Structures are given as C-alpha cells and as structure tokens.
C-alpha cells in the first residue's frame, strides 16, 4: 500500500467508560438508544493520536459510532462523519 498525499486517514478508539457511583460500576452513556447490557456494545471516538485535529472535549465527548443492543436479536448502529 503506498502513501497517497490526497488520502485522509483517521484513527479511532473505544470510548473509555466512566465510573457510575449510583450503580457501582463502569458505564457508557448511550443517550437512551441502547436498552440491554452486552459485551458487543461499544462506542468509537477519534483517537487522541490525531493531535491538533482533535479538540479535548472531556465529559462532552460525543461518539462518532455507537453500536448497542436494544432487544434479544436487535442492535442499534448510529454513526456520523467521517463514517
């Protein structure tokens, strides 16, 4: 694979869960779009490796891709640019 100067690449990583004092465990905020706990639930954010292109958003960091379980055999997939 050769490097094309016109090619734009992005790096993504899993969003890190935050400790929820009320529940006593680590959780991710799926904004009401996910209804079941599952090992397959995940959220992707732009990698911190992106340097100058990435703004530090802290608690307001919004995922670019969200995948989560909503019932026994149904999953929800939400995405936004650059996907």
Question: If you average pLDDT over residues 59-65, what whole number do you get?
Answer: 76
pTM of this prediction?
0.74
The count of structural domains within the chain is: 1
Contact between residue 62 and residue 69 where contact means Cβ atoms under 8 Å apart? no
Q: Would 5 be classed as within a structural domain?
A: no
Domain membership flag for residue 73: yes
Which residue bears the tokens 């400790």? 19
Q: Has residue 54 got a pLDDT over 50?
A: no
**Residues 34 and 41 sit within 8 Å (Cβ to Cβ):** yes
Write the pLDDT tens digit of every residue in 20-53: 999 999 999 999 999 999 999 999 999 877 554 4
Round to whole Å and give the CA distance between 57 and 5: 29
Q: Is residue 18 part of a domain?
A: yes
CA–CA gap between residue 12 and residue 53 (Å, rounded): 13
Domain of 28 in residue numbering reads as: 12-50+60-79
Report pLDDT digits (tens) over 64-74.
999 999 999 99
Between CA 19 and CA 25 the distance in angstroms is 6
Question: Domain for residue 72, yes or no?
Answer: yes
């Amino acid at each position: 694979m050769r490097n094309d100067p016109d090619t734009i690449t992005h790096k993504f990583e899993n969003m890190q869960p935050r400790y929820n004092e009320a529940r006593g465990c680590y959780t991710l905020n799926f904004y009401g779009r996910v209804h079941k706990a599952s090992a397959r639930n995940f959220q992707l954010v732009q990698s911190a490796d992106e340097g100058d292109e990435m703004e530090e958003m802290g608690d307001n960091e919004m995922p670019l891709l969200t995948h989560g379980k909503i019932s026994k055999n149904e999953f929800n997939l939400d995405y936004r640019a650059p996907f």
